[in-house]
Chains A and B, each alone.
Chain A
Amino acid sequence: MIEKDLLRERVDRRTLIKGAGAAGIAGMVATPTTGMAAPGATSGVRLRAQSDPATLVVAAAGSPSDLDPHSSYDYQSVMAILGAYEGLIGLKGDSTTELEGIIAESWESNEDFSTWTFKIRPGITFQDGSPVDAEAVRLNYERFLTLGLGPVAVLSRFVSDPARITAPDESTVVFDLGSPQPIFPLAIASTYGPLIVNAKLLREHEEDGDWGHYWAQTNAEGTGSGPYRITNFEPGQILEMERFDDYWRGWDGNHFDKVIVRVVSETETRRQLLEQGEADIVDALNVEAYDALVDNPDITIQSQFVTRNQYFAMTVAGPLETPEARQAMNFAWPWTDVLEGVYGGRSRQPRGPVPPEIRGHDENTLLYTTDLERARTLLEAAGVEEGTQLTLAMQTGLDQPKAAAELFQQNLAQLGIDLTIDVIDLSTYTSLVYGDAGPDERPNLMWWGWWPDYNDAWNHLYPQVSCDAQDRPARICGLYATIGYRSCSTPPRMRRMTKRT
């Protein structure tokens, strides 16, 4: 499931790991300034007649890959299916902590937050007309936990046994978590996983006990709980939705009757379609497109720091085996040149692995500066001699990370370190990242990125640092495994912390 999607998707960490064994891994993304997309995707076509105001057209850089909310784990799939599926609760507007009821009209916990009770809003129906009642919600979560696919850890961190989720009456769903879990509602509000599907209907499409998962990856007839019905899905090309007349919020007021998500791979084409009014929304443009659109009176640009970061993971092996060597790499990084010269001064230097928008961010974490002399001293302490060769790898299409790496290459050259930059095709690169190659066989530095499923530092860090999932495939064993602490050889100190957090 993962690998086949990789071949036709822009790099998206959620896509990479969904279905890989449910490690609870959060969102890896390609830089939104890339524009890689599905082969064969639309290019230069008319998307919407400008005389059709009731249709919303999203020109997406990459294609939705999976319509099953219980397995889809890439933002482009979720971007599409959120029209067709809703959760019990959700984040309110642009808040990362304030929640609002959706299918649930209210929710509460017991005194110690170990039991959470949700009241289901009356009168909601799935798109086949069957009721979204408490039993349907319970069955939905039984399906989600039993399938155990990509985003399952969003829920299984708190409750893994479906028997602990009960529906004592037609409007009440109770989660008995067994221990205090005050942030449980944030997880239930995640758009990755806990959306409500018509599990009873999906069972009619069941094959080999898959709860209809195979069918639901590309079909959604009658299964949705949200405002739009998915009427057409051609992976790599287009997804179309039309309004569900019986949606519980109703259609009074001004709404779109139809939503089209069209895959348009070329960045320049997406920009042109927006300028011409053929597309209403685009993302994943580059700095040049931003500069071209910023003064366009017909276009609005919204820009906001979010919960993601991007990084070059370092292999804990060879020249970079010691902490001192990896600290030296950070001091050799051209921080200002990258932020100003490559990212146009519109991006932010991370203070560690957890962005400030994530609850639990520590503002006291070190903010590196470029200090080549200090880097030289650290390299000497690490026994890394002049003439050492390092390799940095990334997949194709990442213009800004590549430019940043080239500046880094120049700094390292001043230290006598020869950095080779390997730009690798997408499928090869992702196979390398998630493959079984040991640390000595991997590039010394590899590009990557991340965001959490919900607003919680532990949810953000766990999949990157924990190797609790010892019996799971190495590729989802966390960042330390990915970068070189292979076979789940997370440093003992980190292992202790992941267990007690």
Chain B
Amino acid sequence: MTAISEMQNLLQEDDPAAIYYVEPPWVVYFRNDVTGIFINPVNIGTYNYWAMSRM
């Protein structure tokens, strides 16, 4: 078991630090005439404005 796996096991099961209770999706709502929007799972909540446009 790698150290990272061991830490996850420790935090979740052996010596729980928390109740990790939900992983909600990120949701973005936008007008249909706007293009160039995507969700990056790491860069949450950001937009590439230059690559966006209105149809």
Q: Show the binding face of A for B, using Cβ within 8 Å.
A: 27, 29, 31-33, 53-54, 56, 58, 75-76, 78-79, 82-83, 90-91, 93-96, 190-191, 226-228, 241, 247, 249, 253-256, 259, 271, 274, 277, 280-283, 285, 289-290, 293, 297-314, 323, 326-327, 329-330, 333, 335, 338-339, 343, 346-355, 357, 360-362, 364-366, 404, 445, 448, 451-452, 454-455, 457-458, 461, 464-465, 479-480, 483, 491, 493-494, 497-498, 500-501
Closest to B51 in A: A255
- Distance A382 CA – B50 CA, assembled complex (angstroms): 57
Q: Contacting A312 at CB < 8 Å: which of B10, B19, B28, B37? A: B19
C-beta contact mask, B3-16 vs A, less than 8 Å → 1, else 0?
Answer: 11111111111111
Q: Is the CB of B41 within 8 A of A458?
A: no
Q: How far is the CB of B28 from chain A (nearest CB, A)?
A: 5
> Given A312-B19, A323-B14, A326-B15, are A298 and B49 neighbors across the interface (CB < 8 Å)?
no
Check A306 against B44 for contact (C-beta < 8 Å): yes
Return A447 CB to nearest CB of chain B, in Å.
Answer: 9
25 inter-chain pairs at a CB distance below 8 angstroms, sorted by A residue, are A79-B46, A96-B42, A191-B43, A241-B49, A255-B52, A282-B28, A299-B32, A302-B39, A306-B25, A306-B44, A308-B26, A309-B22, A311-B21, A326-B15, A343-B22, A346-B25, A347-B24, A347-B25, A352-B9, A357-B41, A461-B4, A461-B7, A464-B17, A493-B10, A501-B7
Contact residues in A for B11 (Cβ distance below 8 Å): 352-353, 461, 465
| 6 interchain residue pairs of minimum CB distance | A352-B12, A254-B53, A350-B20, A75-B45, A311-B18, A227-B50
Q: How far is the CA of A190 from the CA of B18 in the complex (A)?
A: 27
In the complex, residue of chain A having the shortest beta-carbon distance to the beta carbon of B34: A280
Residues of chain B lying within 8 A (CB to CB) of residue A483: 17-18
Set of chain A residues within 8 Å of B24, measured between Cβ atoms: 31-33, 308, 310, 343, 346-348
Chain B min CB distance to A391 (Å):
15
Contact assessment for A96 and B17 in the assembled complex, using a CB-CB cutoff below 8 Å: no
Considering only CB atoms, which chain A residue lies closest to B40 in the complex?
Answer: A94
The interface residues of chain A lying within 8 Å CB-to-CB of B42 are 91, 96, 190, 306-307, 357, 451-452, 454-455
Q: Which residues of A contact B14 (CB under 8 A)?
A: 323
Known contacts A79-B46, A353-B17; A306 and B7 CB within 8 A of each other: no
Whether B9 contacts A365 by the Cβ 8 Å rule is yes
Q: Is the CB of A323 within 8 A of B9?
A: no
- Cβ distance A260 to chain B, nearest Cβ, rounded Å: 11
CB closest residue in chain B, given A309: B23
Within the assembled complex, what's the spacing in Å between the Cα atoms of A490 and B14? 14
B20 to chain A, nearest CB (A): 4
Residues of A contacting B50 in the complex (Cβ-Cβ under 8 angstroms): 83, 226-228, 247, 249, 255
In the assembled complex, the CB of B39 is this many whole angstroms from the nearest CB of chain A, namely: 4
Question: Are B21 and A329 in touch, CB under 8 angstroms?
Answer: no
Known contacts A79-B45, A79-B46, A255-B53; is A445 also within 8 Å of B19 by CB?
Answer: yes
Judge whether A354 and B8 touch: CB under 8 Å: yes
- Given known contacts A307-B42, A308-B23, what 7 new A-B pairs fall within 8 Å (CB)? A227-B50, A256-B49, A271-B29, A299-B32, A323-B16, A326-B16, A329-B16
B30–chain A nearest beta-carbon distance, Å: 4
Q: CA A153 – CA B42 in complex, angstroms?
A: 17
Given the interface contacts A306-B39, A348-B23, A366-B12, does A458 sit within 8 Å of B4 by beta carbon? yes
